[in-house]
Structure 1
Amino acid sequence: MTDTAVAGVRTAARLDRLPPTRRHRRMTLLVGVGAFFDLYEIFLGGVLAAVLADSWGLGPTAKSWVIAAGFLGMFAGANVLSVLADRLGRRRMFLVNLGAYALFSLLSAFAPDLGTLLALRFLAGLGLGAELVLVDTYLAEFLPRAVRGRYLAYAYTVGFLGVPVAALLGARLVAGERLLGLDGWRWLLIAGALGAAFLQVMRRTLPESPRWLAVRGREAEAEVIVRRLEDEAAAESGGTLPSVPETVDVPERRVPLGEMFRGTYRRRTVMWWIFQVLQTVGYYGFGSLAPVVLTAKGHTVTDSLLYAALSYCGYPLGSALSVPLIDRIERRTLIIVSALGIAGCGMAFGFASAPWAIVAFGVLLTVCSNVFSNAFHVYQTEIFPTGLRSSAIGIAYSLSRLTSVVLPFVALGVLAALGPVGVFTGSAALMVLLCLDVALLGPRTTGRSLERI
């Protein structure tokens, strides 16, 4: 075993045996707030499509492009920035992606026409494309294995507040008067840009991932960060830390990108690519299309945004519900059970016509969605090694964004031909296929170290 491999093994073992500290919680908060903007953007496409359909006279194809433009940028960004994160570092890409998103989101708020808006939404999505990939990768590499799932779920609980907040802001701003000479939808874009810019400044205090540094041969830098974490943990606990195990797991190493298509990782890659395509329809389909589906049911734009906002309250509730479950139930099992919940509640939402039923089934669907989401976000960090983790997750994740580009064109066509019931019945069938994919091809991971998995 080389000196670099030995250092990497000991770095991982030292991180995994630490008790959680204030620094771990602060990292979780700063990283989780970044997920807020990714999820805010996902909702925003549906709001803009519903609002601009009237004010700009958009047809079905133009509305689809309003939703799809941001996702197309996220597809490109997930491929490029996630691979660069394995080459240049997690922290550096954290700063690049939010900075680009803040700039282009602010510029899109002043777009004079549809073409300019679509181009700027694409560029904003490009900047944000690797955000959730980096959230998962960074926290998984820092957090002790005993709390890895729970703390990632905390991070997403913070992030998912962005969905109902954006919906409530959307309903209020769209229904209200112009503010300082600007339409309400433009202020939604400005708010996202300013919030992301502020968070980027706060994230400059984050350290680089010691696991990544060790794999890249930068042991001295990794040692400084790990030693600081150990000193803080000892000071907070008021005692000695658990000893580093003498027998530790298989060492991490630099891994070429092609490794994801060989040996054990080939099966996992195939499973996860299939998963990401299928989960997009069931999960992101509701979040991005709900306002358009509700207007197709005959509700006004304002009422549709209100019902969607109330339904989206299930996102943070589901995320919070996942916290006590995620480290107690095998991740693979939790994914399958919650996916079946999405399928059933989605069909009920499609049939619902009364406002109370729309909101009730919408909340149940979003609760199931975020138990599902938190479980799979933890799961994907565990099935690939450090040298490949960001790239493998990012490339698979980009497929979900590419599916999100196609989704509005297909879904709005199905909506026009078969109505909301047809849309959600098809979505339910795809979620059942997803369950089979994970059950047959997915490994068990709960409670095991990243290196051993």
Structure 2
Amino acid sequence: MREEATLQAGPAQVAARLDRLPITRRHRAGVVTVGLGLFFDMYEIFMSGVLGAVLADEFRLGRTATSTVLASAFIGMFLGVVVMGQLADRFGRRVCLLASIGIYATFSLVGAASVNAPMLIAARFLAGIGIGPELPLADAYLSDLLPARFRGRYTAWAYTVSFLGVPTVGLMAHWLVPVSPLGLAGWRWLFLIGAAGGFCVLLLRRHLIESPRWLASVGRTEEAERVLRDLEDGAGLPRSPALSVPHAPVTRHTPGARPSLTPAHRRRAAMMAVFHLLQGIGFYGFGTMAPLVLAAKGFSIVHSLLFSAVTFFGYPLGSLASIPLIERMERKYLIVGTALAMAGAGLAFGHAQDKVTIMVAGLCYTAVSNVFSNAYHVYQAEIFPTALRATAIGWTYSLSRVTSAVMPFAMVPFLNRFGSGTLFAVVAAAMTVIAVDIGVLGPTANGRSLEEVNEPAGAIRRSTPGHEHRADGSRPRIRP
């Protein structure tokens, strides 16, 4: 078929031309812009934990209502991830990233003006719809755009920028919650700062170019060619031959055409589904539960916010530490090792009683968890084909949001009944299962082109319904 011939040529040329590039000014600008967008994703996620006790006090909330406030943003994130991932594979990474940031900024502003708990819950839910898709969209976008040999390192730099949002929200909460600048409650200022930051990121949208890989995968080869030539000119490289090929016209998709995962990619999706159901307990569970754990140990709200702010510095420090590791160590094994280290640090934090041990264990936990986080964010974007990258990441990643939404309802009463030691034993068990899951089932990916990582798994091509074509042009089976 002429359609398949074009697709076989176009994306292969895109991949080769992207991977031969050095890192250019456009790459760096895109990484920084994405990192700043993710900064407010982290800011928003960890604001839920640091403000839980404060909002319960402000609106006189009971245990169930407090859990609902904490969970509302995560429920919104789940819906946002599922929907926006599919839209990103259909309409583009760039436009969906910008739409997500705009939705978050708008409803964070509404949250700052909340006059009662229902309004706050609704605003948090809608802000979650915007903020939830940002991480998987950023993973797909950076994986698409960055040359293979720089993919891990520069994605880790974007996340290092983003994780500065975690201690920022911790310190802001510590400074602002006890006071009311200009007569406005401190927690409202936290929402306003998040909204202002989101709108500022939108002003930098010119630094985000669309993914040439995605453009080629949907047949927009002329646009992919323009982006590639701009990158090649910026790198001072001679231009490669144009994407168009003499024996085939520019792709036009057949009506009803749809991509689907091969059996091998479905197994990878199942592996990542297990991973994300459990990593939410370990990664987001600590950020959400740490202030409540400290309060349960007898520390005041102000002191627990201070301890959280200090331990939260482990997030950018761990992210920075991942940069030299993420290309030198095979990423699947880096995920396994850090998951097991998180299990050990979590047990130490849960059983600690004195201030020094609490801070050291918490700092170690957060630092290791961000080597873990950066490794899996790069990894999950490498193991799915371009046509379904954002959808596959979105569906599997959304499960972590389900876990995060359920956590306040399950973990708060669990903490109250069994104590922090038993709570973090559960966290350690979850991280151990993750290590086995990735260690046994995960493919290797370091330094390989995305097409190479996915071709052995039978990477699909778009075609008419019922007819799928592998990366090598072969046809697996015709669906009835």
Q: Shared fold by TM > 0.5?
A: yes
Residue 152 of structure 1: aligned partner: 155
Q: Which amino acid aligns with 2:40?
A: F
Residue number in structure 2 paired with 1:375: 375
Query: CA 1:253 to 1:46, structure 2 compared with 1: closer, same or farther past 3 Å?
Result: farther
What is the match of residue 231 of structure 1? 233
Any conservation in 2 of the 1:271–1:438 contact (CA below 8 Å)?
yes
Q: Contact between 2:319 and 2:367, CA under 8 Å: does it hold in 1?
A: yes
Q: Is the 8 A contact 1:71 1:122 kept in 2?
A: yes
Offset at 1:46?
Answer: 1.3
Amino acid at match of 1:435: A
Superposed displacement of residue 258, structure 1 = 7.0
What residue in structure 1 maps to residue 204 of structure 2?
A: 202
**Which residues in structure 2 correspond to 1:113-132 (within 5 Å)?**
113-132=116-135
Partner Cα distance (2:74, 2:110) in 1: 18
1:46 touches 1:289 (CA, 8 Å); kept in 2? yes
Partner Cα distance (1:212, 1:323) in 2? 26
**Partner residue of 1:397?**
397
**1:414 to 2:417 alignment:** no
Residue 67 (structure 2) pairs with residue 27 (structure 1): no
Structure 1 contact 311–362 (Cα < 8 Å) conserved: yes
The residue that corresponds to 1:248 in the other structure is none
Q: Does 1:4 align with 2:7?
A: yes
CA distance in 2, matches of 1:439, 1:253: 41
Distance 1:144 1:366 in 2: 29
Question: Is 1:445 aligned with 2:426?
Answer: no
TM-superposed deviation, 1:241: 8.6
Contact persistence 1:4–1:219 (CA under 8 A): no
Amino acid at match of 2:406: V
Bigger radius of gyration: 2
Rounded to whole Å, the distance in 1 between the matches of 2:381 and 2:55 is 38
**Displacement after TM superposition at 1:55 (Å):** 2.5
The change in CA–CA distance for 1:81 and 1:312 in structure 2 (over 3 A counts) is: same
Q: 1: distance between equivalents of 2:233 and 2:57?
A: 59
How many angstroms apart in 2 are the aligned matches of 1:191 and 1:2?
Answer: 51
Residues 278-357 of structure 1: pairs in structure 2 closer than 5 A: 278-357=278-357
CA 1:350–1:243: 2 relative to 1, 3 Å? farther
Letter in 2 for 1:229: L
What stretches of structure 1 of length at least 5 have no aligned partner? 245-251
In the TM superposition, 1:77-116 aligns within 5 A as 77-116=80-119
User: Is the CA contact 1:343–1:432 (under 8 Å) kept in the aligned structure 2?
Assistant: yes
1:30-45 superposed matches below 5 A: 30-45=33-48
Distance between the aligned counterparts of 1:353 and 1:258, measured in 2? Answer: 54
Identity rate of aligned residues, in percent? 50
1:52 aligned residue: 55
Q: Which residue of 1 is the match for residue 192 of structure 2?
A: 190
CA contact 2:259–2:388 (8 Å) conserved in 1: no
1:257–1:391 CA contact under 8 A, matched in 2: no
Can you list the C-alpha shifts for 1:208-262, whole angstroms capped at 9, x where unaligned?
1111101111111100110010111117xxxx69999xxxxxxx999987733x4
Q: 8 Å contact 2:213–2:224 — kept in the other structure? A: yes
* Cα distance in 1 between the residues matched to 2:28 and 2:95: 21
The answer for the alignment partner of 1:15 in structure 2 is 18
Please give the secondary structure, in 2, of the residue aligned with 1:276: helix
Q: Distance in 2 between matches of 1:380 and 1:452?
A: 15
What is the Cα deviation at residue 206 of structure 1? 1.5
CA contact (8 A) 1:259 1:265 kept: no
Q: Where do 5+ consecutive residues of structure 2 fail to align?
A: 243-250, 454-480
Q: Secondary structure at the match of 1:146?
A: helix
Structure 2 counterpart of 1:259: 260
For the 8 Å contact 1:5–1:215, the answer to whether it is kept is no
Which residue is 2:170 aligned to?
Answer: 167
Give CA-to-partner distance per residue, 1:258-317, whole Å, 9 cap, x none.
733x42111101100000001110111001121111111110001000000000000001
User: SS at the partner of 1:327?
Assistant: coil
The answer (yes or no) to whether the contact 2:259–2:387 under 8 Å persists in 1 is: no
Paired position in structure 2 for 1:247: none
Which residue is 1:62 aligned to?
65
Alpha carbon RMSD of aligned pairs, Å?
1.9
- The AA in structure 1 aligned to 2:260 is E
Q: How many residues align?
A: 440
The 1:383–1:253 alpha-carbon spacing in structure 2 relative to 1, beyond 3 Å, is farther
Per-residue CA distance 1:334-382 (angstroms, 9 max, x = gap): 0000001110000100011111111111100001100000000000011
Match of 2:101, SS state, is helix
Tell me the CA shift for residue 439 of structure 1: 1.3
Give 1:441 shift: 1.1
Q: Which residue of 1 aligns with 2:431?
A: 431
TM-score w.r.t. length of structure 1? 0.94
Please give the alpha-carbon distance, in whole angstroms, between the structure 1 residues aligned to 2:29 and 2:158.
10
